[in-house]
Chains A and B, each alone.
Chain A
Amino acid sequence: MDRRHFLKQSTLASSLFFVPNFVKAFENMSATGLGYKRLVIIQLAGGNDGLNTIIPFNNDVYYRNRPTIGIQKSDLIKATDELGFHSNLLPLKELYDQGYLTIINNVGYPNPNRSHFRSTDIWQTASSSNQYLQTGWIGRYLDNYGNKSYNAIEIDDSLSLALKGQNINGIATKNPRVLFRTSQDPYFKNVLKHYQDEHLSEHNLGYLYKTMIAAESSAKYIFEKHKTARNKQEYPNNAFANQLKTTSKLINSGIETKVFYSSLGGFDTHAGQLNQQSRLLKIYAEGINAFVSDLKQQGTFNDTLILTFSEFGRRVKQNAANGTDHGAANNVFIIGNQLKTPGFFNDLSSLSNLDDNGDLKYTVDFRSIYATILSSWLSIDDKSILNKSFSKLDFI
């Protein structure tokens, strides 16, 4: 929403100058133009090793390159004749069996960047590898189709680039109660009470007040919505599961939030990968399992799509420290019950025909996945968000 539009709305709705009316005007605008479908994005931060997540157990090249960290046939859950799940992904394999999971192999982009920061930026902004965008793809979605910060929520303490738009940003909260309490500080409330509409026309200062009012209003809305819902499923006791628990609560409250964003870190496994990754995959799979089951029990799984990605995969060849170094293309998981191609969307790239760096070559541009989700799931014009047209994939 631009400032002029905002001003118009607020002056129409309020003939007085003081804030309460003004905040009210904010509350009364509905999130029109947004569908009812929701997207939950999960980043496995640090570069998850896709080859030890979904394992090509019939491939000699795999075992040759990974003499000590390759996962043995006997120690995994077979899905096809070629590929199997890591043994800690049993809950995910169950979703696969029920047709709720699509695995897209070899997802990446041209000229991959192997820095965590840079590659995360690329995934979060949907830029090319030589392009530096200052807005995220969800932020641009908010700019074009949203009108409130809480149309996209990050379950964290601070906001990622993914949710930063040109005119409107998403909002971050790990705990709606804490966010609400912060926003209800009596001092701020007093400052807002004494604030005048006419100041909104000012350049930067007006923007501060506008953001403050929006923050207060969003925090209140999120908290009140959040209070009305309950989880119908036990969740494991860890930070990641807690993020999903909060997400589920918000979804089931009927909040006008279309995109949720959260992440699970620790995947930068340069040394002693086996234990560390096993532990993380268990946390991931068990959390997802509880989340999906919660949504199903409350009838909201139909309208929820879960996208899981990592900023890059790992090098095919293991390193001397029983770990793996930064790689390129990786697998992406799509979870939902309206999938067109459940199971494996495509074959795994060759493990012998690698790029110059010894990494898997990508065959699917991640922006094609975004384009598909934007157009087929959120029913909006993907080009206006991605600034370019990407071919759509037939997975939803």
Chain B
Amino acid sequence: MKQQDIQHLYWRAGFGATPNQLKNLSAMDKHQVVDALFQNSSSSTPLEIDTTEIERFTVKSVYKDKSKRREFVKISNQKLKVLNTFWVNRMVTTEALLREKMTLFWANHFVCRGNNIFYVQQYNNTLRNHALGNFGDFVKAISKEATMLKYLNNKQNRKRKPNENFARELMELFTLGEGHYTEEDIKESAKAFTGYSHNFEGEFVLRKFQHDYDFKTFFGHTGRYDGDDIIDMILEQKQCARFICRKIYSYFVNDIINENRVEELATVFYKDYNIKSLMRHLFMSDWFYSEKNIGSKIKSPIDFLVGMIRTVPVEFEKPQDVIKIQKLLGQILLNPPNVAGWKGGKSWIDSNTIMLRLKLPSIILANAKISIKEKGDFEDSFETYYSKKKKNKFVTTAIDWETFETACSSFSFDDLKQQLVIPELSEGTATYVKTLSQNSKRNFCVQLMSLPEYQMC
């Protein structure tokens, strides 16, 4: 398989291929490369942090004693930050690239935010478990997750006083998209989800006295439906497959939608709602590798950060710094802006985020210094420029340059460029890159990562 195609596949299905992966995969054909991708993601390893500190809390202690409750919330909030950094680390180190990329995708589809570490962790692992499974089972599992029941107020959805929030988002954001159901459908389906609740441990509980066992009329059918029945009826609409495939296309292929391709994917998906088959079809398609799709997307902040650390291993002295970077770049894991999630694409970039992104590789990898000594140029004006700057450390890191250098020891500077920068460089930029001094791969790597082109994948 061509190096560029491997890199393209690995950026979309993962967080970029490391030099070693590129070396190993280039001898294989497309079939084998795609097979390996799926093979590595065939099982799901839960992401778990140490929560023993707050496991001693019980329903009674938390709900009867307000100071305990406060303590619980406080520790839970700290643990959520730990889970955030563990998740980043998982993406950096995982072999199951596709599963982790899909988990990130679904986290921005079944968008949810919560403050109970146990529920949030469980939710995150539900996303991971179902990431490549059956979409119908997935939606049903989501409808029963504690943190989702809380986030979309389904806990308040009772027979005598239905709360329609979950039913509305289920159709608008999770399965069909606006305009493919009526207000009446929302009202009726909300009844089917009445009584859906959870216990302190985060397990699903159907509160029988709050559930409406009466007839509901949904999409023209009438029956004593529960939530699962409603989801099954939604899945019967091909629109559901279309809606998901549109999102898959824009996330994994191109922001500019090709309706014919979406329809092609939807037909594959509608057959059995198997996410794995859908993704395999996508990654095996020739059009996935067409020139206009390669390097056409703007990396999300997480893609950008994780991709960089996968190339050059970095350890942050203060884990909190990883969250600080996410905040400034506009994407804090476990903390989406709203139920519609991050908009992605161009919205990642504004005047502030572009400057930070271009500066971040040098901040993290080179003490904020980008070496720009040009070939044959012995003036030290840039060096003076940098040395005049106050050493105001933004983050403290330990950088494992050896791993990077060993991995790309056989690479020429040009290979390195090919590997790190996905889109074609314009003539001017290419000329500029050629003028850069090429005596250190470290410096060259930081320079390449500081190009606007590095923001693309």
Chain A residues, Cβ within 8 Å of B330: 158-159
- Contact (Cβ within 8 A) B372 A186: yes
Taken residue by residue from 366 to 380, chain A's Cβ proximity to chain B (1 for < 8 Å, 0 otherwise) reads as 000000000000000
Evaluate contact between B426 and A164: CB separation under 8 angstroms: no
Identify whether the interface residues of A are mostly helix, strand, loop, or mixed.
Answer: helix
Q: CA of A182 to CA of B339 in the docked complex: distance in angstroms? A: 34
Q: Does A227 contact B (CB under 8 A)?
A: no
B56 within 8 A of A: no
In the complex, which of the residues A181, A187, A199, A320 contacts B372, with contact meaning CB atoms closer than 8 Å? A187
Q: Which of A157, A198, A211, A321 has most B Cβ within 10 Å?
A: A211
**Contacts A190-B432, A199-B426 hold; do A134 and B347 have CB atoms under 8 A apart?**
yes
Q: Does B296 belong to the interface (CB within 8 Å)?
A: yes
Question: Which residues from B are CB-within-8-Å of A212?
Answer: 354-355, 358, 452
- Chain B nearest Cβ from A197, distance in angstroms: 10
Place the interface of chain A in its size category.
Answer: 35 or more
A117: chain B residues at CB < 8 Å are: 113, 335, 337-338
Point out the residue from B70, B335, B340, B346 that lies within 8 Å of A132, measured CB to CB.
B340
Interface residues of B in 370-390 (CB under 8 A from A): 370, 372, 381-382, 385, 389
Complex partner residue of A203 from B255, B335, B372, B381, CB under 8 angstroms: B255
B408 to chain A, nearest CB (A): 22
| A158 B113 Cβ-Cβ under 8 A | no
A222 CB to nearest B CB, Å: 10
Contact with B along A160-179 (1 / 0, CB 8 A): 01001000011111000000
Flag if B428 contacts A196 (CB, 8 Å).
Answer: yes
Whether A186 contacts B351 in the complex (CB less than 8 A), given A121-B337, A121-B338, A132-B339, comes out as no
B351 touches A211 (CB 8 A): yes
One digit per residue, 1 when the CB lies within 8 angstroms of any chain B CB and 0 when it does not, for chain A 46-83 equals 00000000000000000000000000000000000000
In the complex, which residues of chain A have a beta carbon less than 8 angstroms from the beta carbon of B337? 117, 121, 161
CB pair B355 A190 closer than 8 Å: no
Closest to A118 in B: B338
- Residues A149 and B340 in contact, CB atoms below 8 Å apart: no
Question: Are the C-beta atoms of B350 and A169 separated by less than 8 Å?
Answer: yes
What residues on B are CB-neighbors of A205 within 8 Å?
A: 295, 423, 452-453, 456
Give the bracket for the number of chain B residues in contact with chain A: 35 or more
B451 at interface by CB-CB < 8 Å: yes
* Chain B, interface SS category: helix
B432 touches A321 (CB 8 A): no
Contact B355 A182 (CB under 8 A): yes
Please, which residue of chain B has its CB at the minimum distance from the CB of A196?
B428
Assembly CA distance A121 to B353 (angstroms): 20
Hey, which chain B residues are within 8 Å of A182, CB to CB? 355, 359
Residues of B within 8 A of A199 (CB): 426
A133 to B429, CA, bound (A): 37
**A209 interfacial contact with B, CB 8 Å:** yes
Residues of B within 8 A of A191 (CB): 429, 432, 450-452
Does the CB pair B455–A208 fall under 8 Å?
A: yes
Segment 327-375 of B: residues with Cβ below 8 Å from A: 327-328, 330, 335, 337-340, 343, 345-347, 349-355, 358-359, 362, 370, 372
**Are A321 and B66 touching (Cβ within 8 A)?**
yes
A219 to B429, CA, bound (A): 23
Residues on A lying within 8 angstroms of B by beta carbon are 117-118, 121, 130, 132, 134, 149, 157-159, 161, 164, 169-173, 181-183, 185-188, 190-191, 193-196, 198-199, 203-205, 207-209, 211-212, 214-215, 218-219, 270-271, 320-321
Residue contacts A-B, CB under 8 angstroms, 9 given:
A130-B165, A159-B350, A171-B350, A185-B358, A190-B372, A204-B296, A205-B295, A207-B346, A215-B351
